[in-house]
Amino acid sequence: MAEYRAPVRDIQFALYDVLDAEQHYARIGASEASRDLIDAIISEGGKFAQEVLSPLNQSGDQIGCKFDNGVVTTPPGFKEAYQQYVEGGWPSLAGNPDYGGQGLPESLSVALNEMVSTANWAWGMYPGLSHGAKLTLEAYGTEEQKQTYLSKLVSGEWTGTMCLTEPHCGTDLGLLKTKAEPQADGSYRISGTKIFISAGEHDMAPNIVHIVLARLPDAPGGTKGISLFVVPKLDAESMEPNNVNCGSIEHKMGIHGNATAVLNFDEARGFLIGPENEGLRCMFTFMNFARLGTALQGQAAAELSYQGALAYARDRLAMRALSGPVAPEKPADPIIVHPDVRRMLLTQRVIAEGGRAMIYYCAQMGDVLHAANSTEEDKEEAEAIMSVLTPIAKAFLTETGLEAANHGVQVFGGHGYIQEWGMEQIVRDTRISTLYEGTTGIQALDLIGRKVLADRGTMLRFWTRIIHRFCRDNENKKMQEFIRPLRSHYREWGSFTRKVGMKAMKNRDEVGAAAYDYLMYAGYVSLAYFWAKIADAAYTSLDQGTEDPDYYQGKIKTARFYYKKLLPRAKLHKEVMLNGGKTLFDFSDQDF
């Protein structure tokens, strides 16, 4: 079984050395987020993750959730762990103080979420879904709704979900059929069926607050006629059932410890959130957080799989090193001496550590966007950067995180395919991450279509200017091996974007044909920026003097591996992208 160990030092390195967390929190007016407090959160959160959640990960997978006539029971230990989580005050960490929260920056909760998610992804989804519901209610709910629902969600007493997908309607929400009939008292009667609802029914909390998309009777068709509603499982006042019933739970490839429910709303009482027919706009508060949370799943898979594979590779004996015996006193050498095993381990490591920096950076941009003392200029930059990086982080880190998880199985060889080691579970649990909250292809279309071409590259230029400034400010001999290729890639990024745009003016299918490779190129170049930041931070620590130079030298060596072994993949994606879509449409639909 892969036992999780919270990477406390690596998290601290990412926060303090790479992303200047202390200065960041001072700049946004969060003076209470001192280094002592941050360290305490990381330390105690790490203990909870590895001592309470990690031991439940494999048993939760093997036992799974049980369904009996509408009642869902979570695996043994899940409910007790959640009560311990609530009693520890963890759900309220970044909550609004007006509703019982601790008022700490959102980015701090992301560091906690990383440890929770890596230790036990299925369990972590229960409070994770609540977080998005909290953000939506805080942004668009009425004061009465906040007092009724938000305070309970902030404390963790109740949990939350988002209910979007229907049997006939996945990504294309314009096909949505769930109805909302207005009532004389200002409420609505919600009727319809929602599927694939993560944490949609369970026994960990007495009430579940569902955020539901539905149509009003006179709503226009398509996506312009969708409204957003809060619909509790139990009436908030009487705690009587509210005609929200679980029809079944899915039998899934992975995340067996999390209930993926079919929910039937039969004239359930709900309340409008935000303006009529603007549900999608309000929902994206939820969705953007969910996409970053899904990016975290890719990073978490890389981290957990790396930890398991590294321990195994140090112990497992097989053959001798090609250059001669490394452990002549043993019958064979540990497999960590073999180049291909090292390739896989280092690939896992660069995704885990580089992905952590990318996600934490996105979370800091979210802090800036919502900080009371941020200037309009700061908010504009933060929003543009988040708009570009969110689909990149979600799709790129889940694709490469799945790759890293598969490497974990490969390092173990045949043992990786066996349940008891826990490596195949990471692959099964992670496979969904490339699908939900929008598939890789959907994220790619969002990036190149809505975020880049639609506004003629304005948002993209905010991001590439960040990379440009970093390259400009680090023109020194030590950093040249990173600065030169990084500069070359970000400069050509804008150039071939224009080429794709020109092709799209003649044939819009060219955008779809280029989208996946465009996103993967963007992912490799963006991750290269964060690995250059990591190398620069390591050089700074070495120059200042440190009692552990090997730790920082290791970061530089890992950055070097990324630049030599993974960043070249960007060139392949560029070539494929620029080859256009003609070969895709040489076939008629009947030729397939």
pLDDT at 385 over 70: yes
The answer to whether position 482 is within a domain reads yes
Residues 380 and 411 in one domain: yes
Percent of the chain scoring above 90 in pLDDT = 91
Residues 405 and 358 in one domain: yes
pLDDT at 184 over 70: yes
How far apart are the C-alpha atoms of 481 and 489, rounded to whole Å?
13
Question: For residue 286, what pLDDT is reported?
Answer: 62
CB 187 within 8 A of CB 269: yes
The answer to whether position 53 is within a domain reads no
How far apart are the C-alpha atoms of 86 and 68, rounded to whole Å?
27
Question: In Å, how far are 5, 41, 117, 349, 422 from 47, measured between CA atoms?
Answer: 9, 10, 13, 22, 20
Q: Which of 435, 469, 499 is the last residue of a domain?
A: 435
Query: pLDDT grade, residue 540 (50/70/90)?
Result: very high
Looking from the CA of 580 toward its CB, the CA atoms found within 13 Å total 12
CA-based torsion, 368, 374, 379, 380: positive or negative = negative
Residues 415 and 502 in one domain: no
Question: For residue 280, what pLDDT is reported?
Answer: 87
pLDDT at 592 over 90: no
Range of the structural domain that residue 522 is part of: 444-586
Q: What are the tokens at 17?
A: 């050395």
φ/ψ of 549, rounded to 5, equals: -65, -25
How far apart are the C-alpha atoms of 469 and 446, rounded to whole Å?
26
At 123, the amino acid letter reads W
Q: Which of 411, 435, 459 is the last residue of a domain?
A: 435
pLDDT tens digits for 273-318?
A: 999 999 988 887 667 777 889 999 999 999 999 999 999 999 999 9
Residues 311 and 426 in one domain: yes
How far apart are the C-alpha atoms of 179 and 145, rounded to whole Å?
21
CA dihedral 80, 83, 88, 93 (to 10 degrees): 130
CB 443 within 8 A of CB 391: yes
CB 274 within 8 A of CB 145: no
For residue 70, give the H/E element and its range: none
Domain CATH for 316 = 1.20.140.10
Question: For residue 398, what pLDDT is reported?
Answer: 98
Q: Which of 382, 400, 435 is the last residue of a domain?
A: 435
The answer to whether position 508 is within a domain reads yes
Question: For residue 509, what pLDDT is reported?
Answer: 93
Cα–Cα nearest to 370, from 379, 362, 360:
379
Percent of the chain scoring above 70 in pLDDT = 99
pTM listed for this prediction: 0.97
pLDDT at 15 over 70: yes
3-state secondary structure of 240: coil
Question: For residue 285, what pLDDT is reported?
Answer: 65
The answer to whether position 569 is within a domain reads yes
3-state secondary structure of 147: helix
Residues 300 and 356 in one domain: yes
CB count, 10 Å around CB of 405? Answer: 31
Residues 429 and 451 in one domain: no
Cα–Cα nearest to 286, from 459, 137, 387, 126:
137
Residues 465 and 565 in one domain: yes
Residues 488 and 529 in one domain: yes
How far apart are the C-alpha atoms of 494 and 449, rounded to whole Å?
14
How far apart are the C-alpha atoms of 394 and 345, rounded to whole Å?
22
Q: How many domains does the chain have?
A: 2
Residues 315 and 430 in one domain: yes
Question: In Å, how far are 295, 395, 406, 438, 439 from 435, measured between CA atoms?
Answer: 11, 9, 17, 6, 4
At 111, the amino acid letter reads A
CB 428 within 8 A of CB 304: no
pLDDT at 441 over 80: yes
Query: pLDDT grade, residue 45 (50/70/90)?
Result: very high
Residues 376 and 401 in one domain: yes
Burial 88-98 (b: 16+ CB within 10 A, else e): eebbbbbbbee
The answer to whether position 228 is within a domain reads no
Rg (CA), the chain: 24
Residues 450 and 403 in one domain: no
Which of the residues 138, 303, 353, 437 is marked catalytic? 437
Cα–Cα nearest to 125, from 432, 356, 488, 376:
432
Is 144 annotated as catalytic?
Answer: no
The answer to whether position 170 is within a domain reads no
How far apart are the C-alpha atoms of 150 and 20, rounded to whole Å?
31
Q: What are the tokens at 458?
A: 């304005």
Residue whose entry in the numeric block shows the structure tokens 């079919």: 262
Cα–Cα nearest to 50, from 14, 13, 20, 11:
11
pLDDT at 90 over 90: yes
pLDDT at 255 over 80: yes
The answer to whether position 576 is within a domain reads yes
The answer to whether position 247 is within a domain reads no
When pLDDT is averaged across residues 497-517 and rounded to a whole number, the result is 93
Residues 403 and 458 in one domain: no
CB 154 within 8 A of CB 336: no
